Structure 1
C-alpha cells in the first residue's frame, strides 16, 4: 500500500525560524524525512508550516522542489498577502493555508473568514486549522460557513458539543495525526465515527518529526488507524482521501 502523509514538517535551519514561547525545534531535513519514512512506502504528502516558521515561504518552496512529484505545501500567510503572491505559491505546489489557533504564528482568528475565502477564490485552496475542541463554542460559527476546511490532530481534545461530527457531516476533513500529543479519550472510536459520518473525511498524517509531542509518531500508529476504521475504509484514509483533498 502506498501512503499519503498528509501532515509533516520540514525544519531547515538554513531558512528563518522563529522561537515560539522560547521553543525552537531541532533540524529535520527532507533527507531526514525520507530516511524516516522509507519503510512505510510513502509516495506523497503535505509539508505543513509550523508556528516556528511563521510566514516564511523560502523553506517550503525549497522542500517542495526536493520532495518532487506527489508532495504539496500547506503554508501560513498574513491577511494582506497579494493575489499574485498566492498564485505564485500555488505554482510552487502550495495547496492550502494554515491557521494555527493553538500555538500562533499564523494569521489571527479575526482574519480567518477574509483570508480563507480569498485563498479559495484565488487559487482553490482549502484552510487547515490547528485548534482545540474545547474552543468549538467560539469557533463553530466561524468555521461552519467556510468553503472547505480541515482540522488537525483529531481536534486535540474531547468534543463535548458534537461540533466535530457536525462539521464532518458538512464536508470538513479531519487529520488522524499526533496521537502522542492529543488528549482525546478514545481516538479509535472517534476515527470510526468520522468515517461512518463521511467516508471521505478522515486522512492520515505522521506529524513527523512530532515537535513537542509527549510521544513521537510510531509506525504502529498506521496499524492503529487501520484497525480503527476497518478494511472498507483503510485505503481511503491512508491515501485516496488525502490525494483527492489536495487535488492530486
Structure 2
C-alpha cells in the first residue's frame, strides 16, 4: 500500500533520443500511461508503487518527439479503478487519444456510457499478482459481457506461466481480446520456444485475439540491443500481421532500475517489422481499426 509520504519513483528517461526510424504518417502509440498529477488525481491506496507525476503534457511532448500522431492511454494500476487521470489526458488530446479503463465490477451502465463518451474503448484485466491483490474471473466475465454493446474490447495482462490456467477464462470472453506484451514470454527460448508456441496456440484458437508486440526492456533481460526479443518476436508479427499493436509503455511502470530510452524502443520497430507494409499495419491500420473505426 502506498501513502502520500512514501518515496516517489521516476521510471522514464529524462532525455530520450530522437529515433532514427521514422514512423509512417498517422502512427499510433497504442500502449502508454499517465501518472497523475497526484495533486489533482490521487493514486490508489492499494497501489504497489508511487510514481512521480507524468501527465498529459509530458506524454504528448514525447509523442511528437518520437514521430507519432496518436496515443492509446491504458489505465495504470497505481490509479486503481479511478479513471479520471486517463480521461483528463484524453480530453486534453484534441481527439488524438483513446483509452483503456480499469473498472470496478459494480460499475453502473450509466458510468460505462460516461467512460465511452470520454474516449474509453476497452477495459483491462490484470493478473500480475505483484500489481493487484484480486483478479476475480467471474466478475471480469460479467464486465466483458456488459461492455459488448459498447463495442469495446478486453485488454488482459498476464505472465506466461499462467497461460494454460487462464485458457478457459480467455475462451469465455465474448469480445475481442488484446494481450499485453504477448503474455510476457521467455524470449531467450526463441520463436519456437515453449512460451511462444503456447502463445501461438492461443492466437490460433480465435481470430479475434490480438497482441501488443511491446516491451523489449521488460522481456529481454540482456538489455539493449534486445537481440533475443527481436529474434523471438519478428516471426510472430509476420504470421499475425493484422492482429498486432505496438506502444512505448511510457512512463514504464516499475522500470526505475533499468529505464529504457524511448527513442531506442522506436528504433526496435524495423527489427521486428521489417517492411513498410507491415509497419503500416502495426502502427496505423490496426490501431485505427480498433480505436478510431469511424475515422
Question: Could you state the TM-score of these two structures normalised by the residue count of structure 1?
Answer: 0.90
CA distance in 2, matches of 1:21, 1:59: 15
Counterpart of 1:69 in 2: which secondary structure? Answer: coil
Residue of structure 2 aligned with 1:194, choices 218, 232, 236: 236
Taking the TM superposition and a 5 Å limit, the aligned residue runs for 1:23-172 are 23-102=49-128, 103-104=131-132, 108-120=136-148, 122-146=149-173, 147-158=175-186, 160=194, 162-169=197-204, 170=206, 171-172=208-209
SS in 1 for 2:245: strand
Equivalenced residue count is 247
Q: Tell me if the contact between 2:47 and 2:80 (Cα under 8 Å) persists in the aligned partners.
A: no
Distance 2:110 2:133 in 1: 22
Asked if 1:242 corresponds to 2:287, the answer is yes
Is 1:11 the counterpart of 2:39? The answer is: no
CA offsets per residue over residues 128-186 of structure 1, 9 Å max, x none? 01110111011112113322111112222337253321232323111122221225893
SS in 1 for 2:262: coil
SS in 2 for 1:98: strand
Larger radius of gyration: 2
- 1:189-228 correspondence runs (5 A): 189-213=231-255, 214-228=258-272
Higher relative contact order (CA 8 A, sep 6+): 2
SS, match of residue 79 in structure 1: coil
Deviations 1:166-215 (A, max 9, x none): 23232311112222122589322333232233211111101001121233
Of stretches 224-233 and 48-57 in structure 1, the one that deviates more from structure 2 is 224-233
**TM-score, length-scaled by structure 2:** 0.77
Show CA shifts across 1:66-99 (max 9, x none): 1121310110011121112111110111000001
The question of whether the paired residues in 2 share the 8 Å contact of 1:99 and 1:129 is answered with yes
Query: Which consecutive aligned stretches of 4+ in structure 1 deviate over 6 angstroms post-superposition?
Result: none
Q: Can you list the C-alpha shifts for 1:31-78, whole angstroms capped at 9, x where unaligned?
A: 111222322222111111111111102212211111121310110011
**Unpaired segments of 5 or more residues in structure 2?**
1-23, 187-192, 222-226
For residues 112-142 of structure 1, the C-alpha deviation after alignment (integer angstroms, 9 at most, x for no partner) is: 222112212x311100011101110111121
SS of 1:227 mapped into structure 2: helix
- Of 181, 185, 188, 2:218 maps to 181
Counterpart contact for 1:207–1:217, Cα < 8 Å? no
Match of 2:11 in 1: none
